Structure 1
Amino acid sequence: MNLNDTALSTETAATQDGDYTNKTTKTDLIKADPSIKQNFYDFYLGEHQNMACRRLHFAGSSFGLLGLAKSVKDRSPTPLLKGIAAGYACAWVGHFFFEKNKPASFKFPLKSFASDFRMYSDVLRGNLSLKDRKYDRARKKPAQ
C-alpha cells in the first residue's frame, strides 16, 4: 500500500488515551505525534504491510542478533558490524523493492530501530504474521 491508496482505505490509530474508535487514514498516521509510542508503532506497522518486506525485516533482525552474539563470543566488533549491515540491507531491499516506500529509519532512526525489535518480538509471540495480515493481532481492532 502506498500513500496514493489512502483515500480508499482507513486504518485505526490510538489516541493519547488509548481510544481506538477514531478512524484515520494512513496519512493521518504519518502526521501523528511521533512522541506517542502506540501511534508510532501503528505507523511503523502501516509501513510494513507487504509480507516479503516483513520477512526481510525478520531475517535482517535475526542477522543483527546473530552478529551481536558472535561479536560477544569472539570479543570482536566485526561480526556485529556485519550483522548490522546485513540487517539494514535486508530491510532496505524490503522497502525499496517490495513495500515501495522509504524506510522510517530515515526520519526516525531510534524509534524505528526500537519498533523493528518490537515487530520482531510480535512475530515471535504470534501477534504478527509473516504469511498474511489477516492473522495479525498486534493492533487492537476498533469497536464496531
Structure 2
Amino acid sequence: MTAHEPRIATYDAFWPFYLGEHALPATRAWHFVGTGLVLLALAAGLVTGNWRYFAAAPVCGYLFAWISHFFVEHNRPATFTYPLWSLISDFRMFFLFVAGRLRAELRRHGVSR
C-alpha cells in the first residue's frame, strides 16, 4: 500500500490484500516459522511462568515476518499500516495452513504463486 492508495475499510477487504502481500511460498514459510515460535513461546511462558518467553513471543513473530517481507517478498509489512488485522491474519494464515486449507484460500482470492 502506498500513500496514494485509499485505506482499506473492512477486514473482509483486508484479507485478500494480506494474502496478496504473502504471495510467495517462502514468505509464507517464514511467517509459519515465526508464528509457530510465537505459539511455542507463549506456551512455554504459561508452563514455566517465566516472563521472558512472553517477551520473546512478539520478537519471534515480527523478526521472521519482517525478514520475509524485506528479503523475500520485497514489500512493506502490512503490520505497519494495519497492525491488528495483520496480527489476526498471521494466525489465520497459520491455522489455515495447519488445517490444509490455505492453498484453497489462496486460489479463492487469486493468489497463485
Cα distance in structure 1, aligned partners of 2:85 and 2:31: 15
Cα distance in structure 1, aligned partners of 2:27 and 2:109: 23
Alignment of 1:30-109 (within 5 A): 31=6, 33-35=8-10, 37-109=11-83
- Stretches of 4+ aligned residues off by more than 4 angstroms: none
Q: 1:34 to 1:115 in 2, by over 3 A?
A: farther
State the TM-score, normalized to the length of structure 2: 0.85
Cα distance in structure 2, aligned partners of 1:32 and 1:92: 21
Aligned residue pairs: how many?
107
**Alpha carbon RMSD of aligned pairs, Å?**
2.0
Q: Which runs of 5+ in 2 are unaligned?
A: none
**1:34 maps to amino acid:** A
Q: Which runs of 5+ in 1 are unaligned?
A: 4-26, 129-135
Larger RCO (CA within 8 A; separation ≥ 6): 2
Higher helix share: 2
Contact 2:35 2:91 in 1 (8 A): yes
- Report percent identity of matched pairs: 36
